[in-house]
Amino acid sequence: MSVYNGETYLGEAIESILHQEFTDFELVIIDDGSTDASAEIIESYDDPRIRFFENEHNIGLIGSLNRGLGLAWSPYVARMDADDVSLPERLARQVDFLDAHPEIGVLGCAVEVIDGSGNPSHTRRFAAEHRVLRWRLCFGNPIMHPTVIMRREVVNRVGGYSSDMLHAEDYDLWRRLSSVTRLANLQDVLLCLRTHEDSVTSKHLVQQRNNSIKISQLAIAGILSEDVPLDVVQRLWAQDFESASELLQVARLIHRLCQATIAASALSPAERRIIRSDAANRLFRLASPRIRGPRAWEVVGLACRVDPSLVVRVATRIFHRMIRGRAPSCAP
């Protein structure tokens, strides 16, 4: 756990780890030059499992996390942010899973999103299987950073967190790790993810997005085995096109990615269905706002080639809308 001026939620975060059902751990806490009461809060806990370190000056989250990796002794390293809450069974469930699946190097889980006061908002779940996660890495970050437990050996093998991908260092780490180990997510909610105005995502959205697009470009290149122009990936993320040819360029990229992913991996039938369906839905969403143009229909055609069942799903959706539109009003 890296802490910088985290006094508001720090105590709750620490206690959620100290009260885990799994008890054989050390909690490495690094204070990154806080100017509030964070250090005093940490020192108030009398628990031998806490190892507390203070940076001489603020070195940032990436430097602190890499320092923590160097200080950790366990073969497993779990991440925890200073404003989130781990449910009591989190570590036990994740350790049991990694013990049973030695091929998995990074394991996340589902989260319940809470606000600054701890009020729940919604639940977020992510793909469970490695091959699907590698596909999803092309379009965004499919593993929540504060939910993960990692094998320290594989993280060290790729050099830990990269300072070149500030505010998207976790997304970049998963991309690099996906080439040397397998990724997975449990579908159970094991962490409450807090969102508030001081969170990293809220304060550094532009830089996070710019670096995420670069990571997406690298993930795509890894699957296609060729460089992809950054401006094409930027349009993929923005979904904003000045011409029909730009729309078609992005659509063809998604189609090629899908074909390459399916061809390169020994996918299970379930994984194949998930990837085909996801690609088709992405293509259909590209075309939907522009459905009157001929290029848009070409994109719809690509979607249907990727996943022929999309035709049935879309037709069913349109039929249900028509039925609802014709239904007599029940209003008095």
State whether 252 and 311 are in the same domain: yes
State whether 156 and 263 are in the same domain: no
On whether residue 329 sits in a domain, the answer given is: no
Integer Cα distance of 25 and 74 in angstroms: 8
State whether 200 and 117 are in the same domain: yes
* pLDDT, mean of residues 8-25: 98
Residues 6+ apart with CB under 8 A from 249: 232, 235
For residue 87, what is the domain's CATH number?
3.90.550.10
Predicted pLDDT of residue 222? 94
On whether residue 281 sits in a domain, the answer given is: yes
On whether residue 227 sits in a domain, the answer given is: no
State whether 292 and 164 are in the same domain: no
Last residue of a domain, one of 206, 226, 253: 206
Residue 280 has pLDDT above 60, yes or no: yes
CA 328 to chain centre: 44
State whether 133 and 249 are in the same domain: no
On whether residue 222 sits in a domain, the answer given is: no
Q: Which amino acid is it at 97?
A: F
pTM score: 0.90
- For the record, the structure tokens of 292 come out as 């009157």
Integer Cα distance of 137 and 257 in angstroms: 12
CB 91 within 8 A of CB 20: yes
Name the percent of the chain lying above pLDDT 90: 79
Looking at the structure of the chain, the number of domains it has is 2
Predicted pLDDT of residue 332? 27
On whether residue 260 sits in a domain, the answer given is: yes
Q: Which amino acid is it at 69?
A: L
Interior angle at CA 108, CA 30 and CA 159, nearest 5: 55
State whether 23 and 97 are in the same domain: yes
Mean pLDDT (the chain) is 91
Q: Give the CB-side neighbour count of residue 146, counting CA atoms within 13 A.
A: 28
Predicted pLDDT of residue 331? 33
State whether 16 and 150 are in the same domain: yes
pLDDT band at 199 (very low <50, low <70, confident <90, very high): low
CB 35 within 8 A of CB 7: no
H or E element in which residue 54 lies: strand 50-54
Residue 330 has pLDDT above 90, yes or no: no
- For the record, the structure tokens of 259 come out as 């074909």
* pLDDT, mean of residues 184-204: 85
On whether residue 269 sits in a domain, the answer given is: yes
Q: What is Dmax (Cα atoms) for the chain?
A: 71
pLDDT band at 295 (very low <50, low <70, confident <90, very high): confident
Range of the domain at 258: 239-321
Predicted pLDDT of residue 299? 87
State whether 80 and 142 are in the same domain: yes
Predicted pLDDT of residue 244? 87
On whether residue 121 sits in a domain, the answer given is: yes
pLDDT band at 119 (very low <50, low <70, confident <90, very high): very high
